[in-house]
């Protein structure tokens, strides 16, 4: 899945501006047109992820071949009803087997999965806005993507 795949990760709370949206649209379209990216991986629990999903969904009207995939960190087994609900916004969903029994680390492990499966990572990480009471999930993911030598596109 790696060569033509891109994932998104970033802070739960973001400074959502028209400038950020425009920049993301430009990045996403460039990835599709110039880098032949056709699969976009999404997590959950972050406004950055939600915004990227909204923008990729809009762009999908122009580039109908692209796929949106929801990588679940919860619910290893889902009902047909829930799967149908997810398919309203995604072309596919899966739960990485390796995160079974991860407990509280499930979201970190899910992000690692998305990074491992991606050639590009679009990142919203801002050190001054990172949480101070716990380690930032966005920072953990960014450090991992750097370690794995991924192509990182920072939107900040």
94-119 pLDDT, tens per residue? 999 999 999 889 999 999 999 999 99
Query: What distance in Å separates the CA atoms of residue 5 and residue 32, rounded to the nearest whole number?
Result: 10
Does some domain include residue 134?
Answer: no
Q: Give how many domains the chain has, as a whole number.
A: 1
Q: Which of the residues in the chain have pLDDT under 70?
A: 1, 129-134
pTM of the model as a whole: 0.94
Rounded to whole angstroms, the Cα distance separating 64 from 85 reads 20
Domain assignment of residue 137, yes or no: no
Domain assignment present for residue 74? The answer is: yes
CATH number, domain of 18, equals: 3.40.50.450
Judge whether 110 lies within some domain.
yes
Compute CA distances 100 → 13, 41, 91, 96, 148, whole Å.
27, 19, 23, 8, 22
Residue 22, in any domain of the structure = yes
What range does the domain containing 25 cover?
Answer: 5-128+147-154
What is the C-alpha end-to-end distance of the chain, expressed in Å? 27
Give a yes or no: residue 142 inside a domain.
no
């Amino acid at each position: 899945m790696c060569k033509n795949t891109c994932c998104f990760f970033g802070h739960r709370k973001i400074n959502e501006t028209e400038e950020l949206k425009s920049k993301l649209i430009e990045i996403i379209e460039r990835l599709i047109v110039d880098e032949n990216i056709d699969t976009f991986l999404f997590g959950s629990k972050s406004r950055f992820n939600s915004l990227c999903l909204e923008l990729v969904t809009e762009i999908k009207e122009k580039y109908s071949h692209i796929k949106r995939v929801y990588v679940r960190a919860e619910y290893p087994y889902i009902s047909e009803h829930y799967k149908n609900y997810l398919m309203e916004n995604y072309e596919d969903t899966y739960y990485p087997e390796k995160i079974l029994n991860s407990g509280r680390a499930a979201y970190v492990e899910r992000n690692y999965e998305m990074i491992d499966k991606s050639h590009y990572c679009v990142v919203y990480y801002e050190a001054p806005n990172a949480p101070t009471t716990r380690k930032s999930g966005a920072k953990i993911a960014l450090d991992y993507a750097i370690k794995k030598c991924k192509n990182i596109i920072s939107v900040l």
